[in-house]
């Protein structure tokens, strides 16, 4: 009930917000010369606030959709999933000058491809984002297989996370930094945790402040084909 309430409320909030954004934009385009510097500053803040609220609503919608939708599982070659994610993050990768070390081949897992893509994307965009100012992101990705499960690791050279916060950060709206330095909504890792749980997997992190982070996700591997005869 809570999930469907969140979903419809987030959905309904987008329509009036669209009007606020649209009119603020029209005001900026058509009337900016009539405003003084303070007026223009207020307008800029209004537009930025509306933009942030829209991102927040989209993230909440995505989170609650993940709880409502039916997921169909199939074997996923993580190398291909990762290639897709890197393509989507291309702009952030270029602007941060990030260096990747990807240990191919990565495992094949059983899961819901769009959800896994979102999970990997959230982990990588955090690895790109949470670095100390002026640091070139250095991201290592590798896999490990053990019996019927596979683990994917994402390691960064970022600001790190104190062990006391390792559980908390997977909750909704849990953020350790202010949004001026590191923008975000605090839903990315909640989507990771929920997505992985819905695919029957596990997630975790190893990290210390100033020493980078290693996030891992674990998912079932597809059953080996059985040969007859
Ligand atoms: P957001 O990225 O929108 O802040 P997330 O849910 O993805 O939200 O992450 C929650 C918090 O966990 C972040 O605000 C940050 O404090 C911490 N965090 C997540 N990933 C990393 C990382 N790779 N390095 C350091 N801190 C991280």
pLDDT higher than 80, residue 1: no
**From the CA of 78, how far away is ligand 1's center (Å)?**
23
**From the CA of 138, how far away is ligand 1's center (Å)?**
16
- pLDDT reported for residue 194: 96
Q: Which atom of ligand 1 is nearest to the CA of 212?
A: 24
125 compared with 2, residue with greater pLDDT: 125
Contacts for 152 with CB less than 8 Å, ≥ 6 apart: 78, 106, 107, 109, 120, 141, 142, 143, 216, 217, 218, 219
Q: How confident is the model at residue 228 (pLDDT cuts 50, 70, 90)?
A: low
**From the CA of 28, how far away is ligand 1's center (Å)?**
33
Shortest-distance Cα residue to atom 3 of ligand 1: 184
Q: How confident is the model at residue 8 (pLDDT cuts 50, 70, 90)?
A: confident
pTM over 0.95: no
Task: Locate 203 and state its tokens.
Answer: 């997630």
Q: Which residues line ligand 1 (CB under 6 A)?
A: 122, 126-127, 130, 156, 158-161, 169, 174-177, 184-190, 213
Q: Label residue 223 exposed, middle or buried (CB < 10 Å: 0-12, 13-18, 19+).
A: exposed
| Least trusted range by pLDDT, from 36-40, 154-158, 177-181 | 177-181
Q: How confident is the model at residue 13 (pLDDT cuts 50, 70, 90)?
A: confident
Contacts for 116 with CB less than 8 Å, ≥ 6 apart: 76, 78, 81, 109, 195, 199, 219
Q: Label residue 194 exposed, middle or buried (CB < 10 Å: 0-12, 13-18, 19+).
A: buried
Residue among 109, 111, 192 nearest 150 (CA): 109
Dihedral Cα 124, 129, 134, 135, nearest 10 deg: -30
pLDDT higher than 70, residue 229: no
**From the CA of 186, how far away is ligand 1's center (Å)?**
7
Q: Which atom of ligand 1 is nearest to the CA of 175?
A: 14
pLDDT higher than 70, residue 109: yes
Q: Label residue 59 exposed, middle or buried (CB < 10 Å: 0-12, 13-18, 19+).
A: buried
Q: How far apart are CA 125 and CA 74, in angstroms?
A: 25
User: Residue 186 — φ and ψ, nearest 5°?
Assistant: 80, 20
Mean pLDDT of the chain: 93
Shortest-distance Cα residue to atom 11 of ligand 1: 175
pLDDT higher than 60, residue 127: yes
Q: Which atom of ligand 1 is nearest to the CA of 184?
A: 3
Tell me the β-bridge partners of 206: 214
């Amino acid at each position: 009930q809570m999930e469907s309430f969140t979903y419809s409320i987030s959905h309904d909030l987008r329509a009036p917000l669209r009007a606020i954004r649209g009119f603020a934009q029209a005001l900026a385009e058509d009337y900016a010369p009539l405003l003084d510097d303070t007026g223009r500053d207020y307008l800029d803040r209004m537009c930025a606030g509306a933009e942030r609220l829209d991102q927040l609503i989209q993230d909440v919608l995505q989170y609650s959709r993940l709880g409502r939708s039916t997921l169909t599982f199939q074997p996923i070659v993580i190398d291909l999933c990762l290639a897709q994610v890197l393509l989507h993050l291309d702009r952030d990768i270029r602007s941060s000058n990030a260096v990747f070390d990807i240990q191919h081949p990565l495992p094949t897992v059983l899961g819901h491809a769009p959800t896994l893509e979102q999970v990997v994307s959230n982990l990588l965009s955090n690895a790109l984002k949470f670095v100390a100012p002026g640091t070139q992101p250095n991201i290592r990705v590798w896999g490990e297989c053990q019996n019927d499960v596979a683990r994917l690791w994402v390691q960064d050279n970022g600001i790190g996370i104190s062990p006391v916060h390792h559980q908390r950060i997977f909750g909704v709206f849990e953020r350790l930094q202010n949004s001026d330095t590191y923008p975000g909504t605090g839903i990315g890792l909640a989507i990771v945790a929920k997505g992985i749980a819905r695919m029957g997997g596990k997630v975790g992190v190893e990290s210390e402040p100033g020493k980078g982070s290693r996030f891992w996700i674990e998912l079932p591997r597809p059953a080996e084909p059985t040969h007859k005869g």
